[in-house]
A and B are shown apart, each in its own frame.
Chain A
Amino acid sequence: MSAAAGYYRPGHSWLHARNPLTKLLALLWLVLAAFLLPGLALPVLVGLVAVIAGSAGLLQATIRSLRIPALLFASILLVNAFLYPGAHDFLARLGPLAVTREGVTFGLVSAGRLLVAFSASIVFLFTTLADDLLEALVERGIGHRIAFLVLSAVQMVPRLQGRAAAILEAQQARGLQTGGSIVSRTRALVPLAAPIVLGSLIDVRERTFALEARAFGAKPGRTAYRQVPDPAVDRLLRWLILAAGVAVLAVAVTRPLA
C-alpha cells in the first residue's frame, strides 16, 4: 500500500467530490453526536453512516473493515454485560456470573458509540486524500505544523504497515517462522516489532529532513498546485453541520444527567 494514498479509494461519488473540510466537519459532528446524545440516537447515527457509505458505493468495504475493532466491541459488550458494577436487574445467570440489564444497556451504548466513530472515520479515510485535507487546512489558515500533524496521523498506519511488510520479508529471509503455533507466533513478534519501533524513530528523522529540505513552512502564503474544489454546496453543508452541532450541544446541556 502506498503511504501517500493510505486508505483512500479513488472514486467519483458525491462524497468523494466534497471538500475535505466538509467531510472532516461531518465526521466531528457524528462523533460528537454519538457521545453526547442519548443511546437511543445511536441506531439513527449508525443508519446515517450506513446510508452515506452506501450512497458512495462503500457500504461493503466499510462493513469489511469492521473486523478490525470487532473483538474490541465484543469484549466491551461481554465485560459490561457480566461485570457492570452495582447492577441488580438480572437477566440470566451463568454459574457465579450474571448478565444484568444495566450492563447490557451500557455495553451496547458504549460499543455503539465506538462503532459510529470508527465507521465514520473509515468512510472519511476511504473518500478523502490525505494530501487534499492538508491543502484544505492550510488554505483555511491552519498553521502548517498543525496541518502536517493531521496529515501524519492519517498516514501513520499505512506507513507503519508498509514498513512492517518490508521487515517481515527481511526477517523471513533470515529463517524467521511466522506461522504455526501460538508460541512460535509470539516468539516472532520481537524481531518484527523492534525494527518497527526503531524504524519509526528513523522515520521521524527522515520526515523532518525531507520537510526541511523542501522548505515546508518556510514562507507564509504557500501556493497550491493541486486545486481542491470548494463548491457552494459544501459551504451550505458546513453551515448546516455547524447548526446541527449546536443542536447536539443544546440537547446535551439540557438533558438531565443519566
Chain B
Amino acid sequence: MTGQAVSEAGRAEPQAAAGRVALDGVSVRYPGRNAVALEVSLAVEAGELVGVAGRTGAGKSTLALTAGGFVPRVVHARVGGSVTIDGVDALTATQSALAGRVGIVFSTPANQLSASKLTVREELAFGLENLTVPRSEMDGRIDEVLDRLAIAHLADRDPFALSGGEQQRVAIASILVMGTSVLVLDEPVAQLDPAGSRGVASLLRQLAGEGHAVLCTEHDPDVLAATDRCLVLNSGRSVALDLPGTALGSAVQRPLGLRPPTLVELAELAGLPPRQAFDEEAVAAELARHDFRRQIEMPALGMPGDEMLDWMPIRSEPTPHLLVSDLVHRYAGGPEVLRGVTMTARPGETIAIVGQNGSGKTTLVKHFDGLLRPDSGSVEIDGRDIAAVPVGSIARTVGLVFQNPDDQLFNRSVEREVAFGPHNLGLDGGRARDLVDRAIELAGLMSVRTTNPYDLGLSTRKLVALASVLAMEPGILILDEPTTGQDGPGVARVGAIVDAYRRAGRTVVAITHDMEFAAEHFERVVVMREGAIIADGAPADVLSADRSALLASTGLVPPVAARVGARLGLSRTPTMAALLEALSRR
C-alpha cells in the first residue's frame, strides 16, 4: 500500500534535530479530490505537548497521519513541503527508517490491535517483537505501560473480550510500549470514560515532561487543556496556534461555528486571562467576586446549531412502559456482566446511562430489544415479557442505534438507508415517505440525501444510522454513545434530536461518557458500576459535586458547571445555564 510520495522539497537536511516532528509548508491532497486536505506548518519540539482542535473534516486526522508517518507511505496522497520525524525525512523514508521513531494512536482500537493475540500481554509484546527487543526486556516494559494506563488487571484477558474503552487503553499502551520519541494521537479518548480521558491527559503531560514530542488531536477539553500549545484547523488551514485558553476561546472558536469549552466560557465571563482559562479554582474565585445581579444582559451563549427542532409523530402507537427486573447476564465463559439490574423507563422519559468502560451499559441496553437475553430476570414492555418475542418484532417498539454505524449501513444512498427500517415495518408508502423525510430533516442530512453513506465521514455516518432508526419512530429510542467522534455542532444536533423526540412524547435512553451532554438533555441519569446501578435520579442530584466520590468509583467526574458551582457554595448546577441562573440569584 506504499504511496507514491511526491516531495517538492527534495532531500531532508541531515542536520535536522532528533526527537521532534516538523511539518514545513506541508500540503496534502488525496487522490481524486481537488481540495487541499491540509496546508500547514507546525513543529512539535522534544518535551512539548501540542493539541489540535477544529471541526470534523477540518484536517485533524490528515495532520495526525502526516506527522505520524502514515501519509504518504501508507495512505496515498500527494504531499508538498517537508515532513521531518525524529531527524528522518518522512516523505521518502521506508518503514524500517521510521519504525521505533514515531508511534501513532488512532481513535478506534480496531486500527491498532494485531487481532491475533490471545492475551493483552502478548498483544503488547507484538510491537516489541517487531522492534527486535530482546525477550528478557519485554515483560518489564509491558508491566510499566500496563501500570501507566491503569490496566494491569487486564494483562491476561483476551483483548477481544474487553469493552470498547478497555480496548482503547490497550491500544494506547500498545504504542507507548514501543518507546518512540515522537508520539502522535488522533482523538485517543473518544471512547473513554471521563476518568480515562483525564488519565490520558495527565499521561501525555508526563510523556512530554520525559522529553517526548507529543501531538494530539482531540475534541475533549480535558486533553486540550493539558497542552502547551493548541493548533486550531479550519478547512485544512491553521487559524490559530496559541495557548489552549486562547486557541479555544470565543474569539477563535465562534467564527468557526464552535462553542468554547464550558470552563473557558466561564473564565471569559469572569474576565480571566487565557493563561488561567482552564484553572477551575481561579475561575470560581473570580466568578465569586463578580456581581451577576447588576449584569442586565447575559452573554450570548446560543449557537446556530442550538435552534429547537421538532418531531411530529406519524405512527399512532402510544409510547410503551419499559421495565427490567433483576437482570443477570454472563457472556459464555466470562464473568457476570450484569449482576441484578432493575430499572424502568416510563413513557416519555429521557434517561442517560453513564459509568466506566466495561460497566455493562451496552450489555444492558441490548436486553431492551431482545438482542441479548437474560440469564435470569426479565424485560417487560407494557407489562408483557419479551422473552419469546423475536428481535425483528420488538424493533417496532424499541429502536437501538449501535455505536458502530458500519455494522448497519449497506444502501447506496442515505435516503435508501433511512427507508430500510420503515420498509421492514411494512408501513404504507405515504407514511413511510413522511417518516424518511422527517428523520433526514431532524438529523440534518438534507444536503447528503442522495450521497452514498460510505462517502461520508464517520460522524455523519453515525447520524445516518441514527436517522435510519428514527424513521421507524420507535416508542423507545436507544442510543449507544451517539456523541462519540462528533464535534460541537454534531453534539448539539444529537442533543436537539433527543429534545425533539422527548417533546413528541417518546422515550429516549442514551449511553454516554459526556457528562455535559447527559446533564443538558436528559431528565434522569442512571449510573452503572461493575454490572449494577449505583445511582438513579435527576442530573442535578446525581451529577453533583457532593457525589464526586461515588462518581469517581465508576470513572466519572461531575460536569464542569457542577464543579465550579460547588466551589462557589452552589448546589444543583449541572449545566452552564443552571450555574448562571444560580449566580444571578445570589
Contact = CB atoms under 8 A, between A and B. Distances in A.
A228 interface: no
A78 to B, nearest CB: 36
Contacts of B260: none
B1 interface: yes
B160 A3 contact: yes
Using C-beta atoms within 8 Å of the partner chain, give the interface range for chain B. 35 or more
A238 B461 CA distance: 52
Nearest to B1: A208
Contact of B174 (A151, A202, A214): A214
A50 to B, nearest CB: 29
Contacts of A209: 70, 74, 106, 111-112
A2 B410 contact: no
Contacts of A213: 68, 70, 103-106, 111-112, 175
Interface stretch (A88-96, A108-116, A192-200): A192-200
29 contacts: A2-B160, A4-B118, A5-B158, A151-B116, A174-B468, A177-B390, A177-B424, A179-B390, A191-B420, A195-B406, A209-B74, A209-B112, A210-B110, A210-B111, A213-B68, A213-B70, A213-B103, A213-B112, A214-B174, A214-B175, A215-B99, A217-B95, A218-B96, A218-B130, A219-B96, A223-B128, A223-B129, A224-B135, A225-B138
**Nearest 8 CB-CB pairs, A to B?**
A218-B99, A175-B424, A194-B410, A225-B125, A175-B395, A215-B99, A172-B391, A170-B407
A199 B74 CA distance: 19
A4 B1 contact: no
B449 interface: no
Residue in A129, A167, A213, A218 with the greatest tally of chain B CB atoms within 10 Å: A213
Contacts of B174: 214
B129 A224 contact: yes
Contacts of A215: 95, 99-100, 127, 130-131, 178
Using C-beta atoms within 8 Å of the partner chain, give the interface range for chain A. 35 or more
Residue in B68, B133, B391 with the greatest tally of chain A CB atoms within 10 Å: B391
A63 B116 CA distance: 27
Interface in A110-145: 129-131, 134
Nearest to A194: B410
A159 interface: yes
Contacts of B411: 194
A228 to B, nearest CB: 12
Contacts of A131: 116-118, 122
B469 A173 contact: yes
Interface stretch (B49-57, B146-154, B314-322, B396-404): B396-404
A2 B105 CA distance: 23
B455 to A, nearest CB: 12
B209 interface: no
A173 B369 contact: yes
B118 A172 contact: no
Contacts of A217: 95, 130
A222 B70 CA distance: 22
Nearest to A218: B99
Contacts of B425: 175
Residue in A175, A177, A191, A209 with the greatest tally of chain B CB atoms within 10 Å: A175
A62 interface: no
A176 to B, nearest CB: 6
B116 A155 contact: yes
Contacts of A212: 70, 73-74, 95
A37 B114 CA distance: 40
Interface in B389-431: 390-393, 395-396, 399-400, 402, 404, 406-411, 420-421, 424-425
Nearest to A211: B114
Interface in B217-262: none
Contacts of B369: 173
A132 B424 CA distance: 45
Interface string A1-23: 01111000000000000000000
Contacts of B175: 213-214
Contacts of B96: 218-219
Nearest to A191: B410
Interface string B374-401: 0000000000000000111101100110
A211 B493 CA distance: 36
Contacts of A155: 115-116
A207 B103 CA distance: 16
Given A175-B424, A198-B410, 16 more contacts: A2-B160, A3-B160, A4-B159, A172-B371, A173-B400, A174-B424, A176-B392, A194-B411, A195-B406, A199-B406, A206-B108, A209-B112, A213-B105, A215-B100, A223-B132, A224-B129
B113 interface: yes
